[in-house]
Amino acid sequence: MNRATQTGVMRRTRRRLRVAIKLLLLAPLVWTADITAASNDQATIESIRVRPSPERTRIVLDLSQPVDHTLFSLSNPKRLVIDIEKAKLGSERAKKIIENLNYRGTPIKGMRTAARNAHDLRVVLELDEQVKPRSFVLQPILQYGHRLVIDLYEVAQQITPISKQVDRISKQMRDVVVAVDAGHGGDDPGAIGKGNFYEKNAVLAIAKKLHLLLEKEPGFKSVLTRKGDYYLAHRKRTEIARQQQADIFLSIHADAFKTAEASGASVYAISQKGATSETARWLAEKENSADLIGGVGAVSLDDKDDLLAGVLLDLSMTASLAASLDMGQEVLNAIKPINKLHKPRVEQAAFLVLKSPDIPSLLIETGYISNPAEARKLRSSAHQQKMANAIFLGVKRYIESNPPAGSFIAWRKQGNRTEGVETYKIVRGDTLSEIALKHRVSATQLKRANGLVNDTIKIGQLLRIPNS
C-alpha cells in the first residue's frame, strides 16, 4: 500500500470514529427523551363509586389504563391514603362526582385528592373509624374498563362461628329456615340482556318476592343473603346461610348463552365430583368441619381421626345431595307450567355457591336473559311473581313430604302429636315462668326444648313441654 492510499484509509477511519462518537453522545439524549415522554403518559380517573354492603364498603375507581398503587393508614385523625402512580383526575366531571359522593352507611366521612410528585395522584379517605383495607386491580370486562378496587372492613369484624347442628335439631316446633340467595350484585352484573338489562336486578326481584311468600307461610322462615345491589363472595353467601341455621339454600340466577336461541329454566345441584372435593376442603379446615354432622345425639368431628371424619362428612354431603336432587325435581315440576324448561331433570355441576356439606342446596336458572323473549318476561314483575310462586310451591311440596326433625311442619304432619311430649298453646297473660311452674319443669328446660334465647313468647305460639 503506497503512502497516498494509507493517508486515504486513515482519513476515512477518522471520519467513521467521529460519527460513532457523535452517535454515542446523542444516544443518552434520545433515551432520556423517550423516558420523559413515557412519564407523561398518565392514567386518568374517570369516575369513582362508593358501595356499602353488610360485608364491607367498596370504593371503585374507573381508570383509563392499569396503574400501580400503594396504601397506608394514618390516625389522629383516622385516614386511609391511596397513592396512585402516574395518574390524575380525568376531568371536571370526575371532581364533581367526588364532591357529590354519598357516604351513608359507610365509615367514610369525606374524600379528597391532590397531585403528588408532579406525575402521581394521592387520594385520602377521611374515616369515622379504623378499617382493615384490601385493594386490587381488575381488568376490563363487559361494560367495565380498568378498575382499582379498595375494600374497607371493620377492624372488629369477626366471622360468626358455625352454629352446631345439634342446636338446630334441639329446637322443637321450629320454623324451617330457607336461605334465599340473589346471585351477583354490585360490580358483578351477571348476564346482560338487550337494553342493559342486568341479571343481578332480575334475580334480586324474584328473590325478594320468594322471601315474602316464605315469610307468610306458617312453619317457614326466610333469610335473604343480599337485600340490595352489592356483591357478596360465594363463601360469604353460604356462611350467612349457616349462621342462620338454614335448612335449605336456594341461589337464584338467570342464564346467558352466546346465541339468542338458548331458552328455558334449569335447576342445578352440586355434582358428586364437586361434593368429593368439598369434603376434602372442609376436612382440612378443622374449625369448620366440627359439628357439621347432625342427627339425634349429634355427631361431632372433634374427636375423630381424619379417615373417620372424612367418611362422616361424605355421608353428610351424600345425604344433602340426595335431598337437593329430590327438592330440585319438585321445583322443576312447579316451574314447568309457567316457563319452558331447558332440561327436564335436575342437572349437576360443581358450583362453588352450592358447596355446603350440611345444607341441601339448589341453583335455579330462571331463564335465559340472552334470549329476547325470556328477557322480556324476566323484566316483568308479574312473571317474576309467577317464578317466585313456582319455586315456593316446589320447595313447600318437598318440605311437607320430608319435614326436618323438630320442625312445626313435622309436628303437623304427624297429626299434631309429639311422641312422649306434651304441647301447650300460649294465651293472653301467659308468662314463660308460669307455664314452666304449671307443667312442673324449669324455665331453662322449657327454653331449651323450644330453642328460645330469652323469655319472650307470643300469643298462639305452641310450646313443647319436655319431660320433667
Structural domain boundaries of the chain?
Answer: 1-39, 43-154, 165-401, 418-465
Smallest CA-to-CA distance from 201 within 221, 178, 177, 185 is with 185
Per-residue pLDDT at 33: 31
CATH superfamily ID and name for 165-401: Zn-dependent exopeptidases (3.40.630.40)
Using pLDDT thresholds of 50, 70 and 90, give the confidence band for residue 259. Answer: confident
How does residue 193 score in pLDDT terms, banded at 50, 70 and 90? confident
Q: What would the mean pLDDT of 33-62 be, rounded to a whole number?
A: 74
pLDDT at residue 37 tops 50? no
Inform me whether the pLDDT recorded for 454 exceeds 60: yes
- Residue 435: is its pLDDT beyond 80? yes
CATH of domain 43-154: 2.60.40.3500
Instruction: Enter the CATH code of domain 418-465.
Output: 3.10.350.10
In tens, the pLDDT along 195-248 reads: 889 999 999 999 999 999 999 898 899 999 999 998 888 888 988 988 888 999
The predicted model gives 72-77 an average pLDDT of 89
pLDDT at residue 291 tops 50:
no
The residue among 209 and 192 whose pLDDT is bigger is 209
- The confidence band for 283, taking pLDDT boundaries of 50, 70 and 90, is very low
Please, which pLDDT band fits residue 296 given cuts at 50, 70 and 90?
very low
- In this prediction, residue 399 has a pLDDT band, given cuts at 50, 70 and 90, of very high
Q: Which residue has the higher pLDDT, 3 or 11?
A: 11
| 131 vs 322, residue with greater confidence | 131
| pLDDT average, residue stretch 269-286 | 53
* pLDDT, position 394: 96
pLDDT band, very low/low/confident/very high, at 26 (cuts 50, 70, 90) = very low
pLDDT above 50 (res 59)? yes
